Amino acid sequence: MSLKKHKQKHKLLVLAEFVPFWCLYMFVRALPLKAAYFLTRRLFSLLYIVDFRHRKRSQKHLIHAGVAKNRSEAGKIAHRAFASFGMLLAEIIKMDQHFKPEKVIIRGDEKSREEAFGTGHNRNVIVVTAHYGNWEMAGTAWATLSGIPMVSVMRPFNNPLIGRYILKNRTSGVHETVNKHGCVRDLLKAIRQKKNVALLVDQHAGSSEGVETLFFGQPCRTHMSPALLHLKTKVPIVPMISRRADDDFNFEFVLGKPIEYIPTGDKEADIKNVTQMYTSALEKLIAELPEQWLWAHRRWLNIHRKRRSPATA
């Protein structure tokens, strides 16, 4: 994995960003759930109007991916995607007040459900997931429902003060996080300890971290860590999204078919094949209800990205 260094923000800038976040955080925590959802949805609907760059980028990505046929349809889906992200903010802030793992319904592929959640004979798996719905609660919920501890990968926050508030609701006694940089060794250790591991693989990967795949029919570069782990350990990969079911803290784990790949002896081809398999699986899951995915991200290599500097996020 690449050890790309991030510039540290000046302390005054960190504080200037944190103060309004903290005020919003405390205000939302004090609100009833419905009111909190209403507020954060409206805030992100306003952001959709004023944030021209991400609004247009989301719309273009929806058309580029073939999810929307025209600008009008793309605008409606993109607007709902912004509102969904607003709901996520309320859920992050109020997670300890309202979230219960038993409110998560497990849907999707029967074999994956049996592998990961079968009573008495389930096993640890490699979960590949996306920035979709509410991914923040997924680690703790999965570990609780499966009865097997979870280790997931965390990207360091640009603002450590904000990160501290978000992280305190992400982890638990059954769910721990490891830093993205050099995570493969930590995840291998977790797998050998019979723990579940989870990785978000729907964002652009640098040339040293990923391989080229197709996502919604367009070229992108996808993180290959799950493929490396699977080929090394033979532990099955389960593609999954955490879909929001309503505005009452009910969610669904929607599972794709488990990936259990038989190596061909060509390591490079095997890595690429497995990576494409889980990329395609996530595409299929996201396409069922696309407005809960993060469409503003520069996912593809052939739109909003210069190919001569592919490692730029």
| Strand pairing report for 104-108 and 218-223 | unpaired
Is 52 inside a domain boundary?
A: yes
Q: Put the strands of the sheet holding 251-255 in their side by side order.
A: 104-108, 251-255, 237-244, 126-129, 196-200, 150-154, 175-179
> What does the alpha-carbon distance between residue 228 and residue 223 come to, in Å, rounded to a whole number?
10
Of the listed ranges 132-136, 155-159, 232-236, the one predicted with least confidence: 155-159
Query: Is residue 94 a part of any domain in this protein?
Result: yes
Where does 25-91 show beta strands of DSSP type E?
Answer: none
Asked if residue 298 is part of any domain, the answer here is no
Are 122 and 233 spatial neighbours (Cβ–Cβ below 8 Å)?
no
Give residue-wise pLDDT tens across range 199-228. Answer: 999 999 999 999 999 999 999 999 999 999
Distance CA 167, CA 169 (A): 5
Q: Is 313 part of any domain?
A: no
Closest CA to 135 of 79, 189, 175: 175
Please state the domain count of the chain: 1
Parallel, antiparallel, or unpaired for β 210-215 and 218-223?
antiparallel
- What pLDDT sits at residue 11? 85
Cβ atoms 119, 51 nearer than 8 A = no
The DSSP H or E segment spanning 161 is: helix 160-170
Is residue 2 pLDDT above 50, yes or no? no
Asked if residue 302 is part of any domain, the answer here is no
Q: Does any domain span residue 229? A: yes
Say whether pLDDT at 247 is over 60.
yes
Phi, psi torsion values for 261, nearest 5 degrees? -90, 135
Q: How confident is the model at residue 196 (pLDDT cuts 50, 70, 90)?
A: very high
What pLDDT is recorded for position 167?
78
Contacts of residue 184, defined as CB under 8 A and 6 or more positions apart, other chains included, come to 1, 225, 228, 229
2 in a structural domain: no
Q: Using CA atoms, how far apart are residues 108 and 181, in angstroms rounded to an integer? A: 32
User: Residue 73 has which token pair?
Assistant: 């349809």
What is the C-alpha separation between 68 and 28, in angstroms, rounded?
A: 33
Determine the structural domain holding residue 262 and report its residue range.
11-292
Q: Which is it for strands 126-129 and 150-154: parallel, antiparallel or unpaired?
A: unpaired
pLDDT of residue 312: 38
173-190 average pLDDT score: 91
* Cα of 101 vs its chain's centroid, Å: 18
Identity (one letter) of the amino acid at 121? H
Q: How far apart are CA 135 and CA 5, in angstroms?
A: 25
Chain centre distance of CA 229: 18
Give the mean pLDDT of 79-89.
97
- Record the pTM: 0.91
Give yes or no for a contact between 108 and 116, defined as CB atoms under 8 angstroms apart.
Answer: no
Q: Each residue of 275-312: pLDDT tens digit?
A: 999 999 999 999 999 999 999 999 999 998 875 444 43
In a domain, 84, yes or no: yes
Structure tokens at 134: 């509410």
Place of tokens 């960190």: 14
